[in-house]
Structure 1
Amino acid sequence: MAVQWRKSTHSSGVNDEHCVELGRLAPGVGERDSKDPDGGHLTLSVAQFAGLIEQVKQHRVP
């Protein structure tokens, strides 16, 4: 199954220095650097990703 990676709608485009892409993976959610798509990715469980989003919303760093 091919992963469909999605870039944030908040990205300012092709030259954005700080942009990640997300993709739905069998074990959860994948996150990768949009400028280096072949450089690997981080895999988070759905619960871990939800926790990350909550921390970002609260501007907390673990």
Structure 2
Amino acid sequence: MYTLDIHTGIVIRDIDGKQVAPCQSAEDPDFVIYQKWANSGGEPTIVDSTPISDQVI
């Protein structure tokens, strides 16, 4: 349902590509729905957009 980029901290809603976090307000309806989903055990897909040159190998 959601994808979290651990490099940027951005959460995207998969169905329509909308950024839900970070957001302008903790009262944002899309953010509230995401928080409820995550707090009920939902786990976003985790991606890491860190450029290869910045990664420690």
The answer to whether TM tops 0.5 is: no
Q: What is the TM-score normalised by the length of structure 1? A: 0.28
Which structure shows the bigger proportion of residues in helix conformation?
Answer: 2
Q: What is the TM-score normalised by the length of structure 2? A: 0.29
- Greater relative contact order, per chain length (Cα 8 Å cut-off, separation 6+): 2
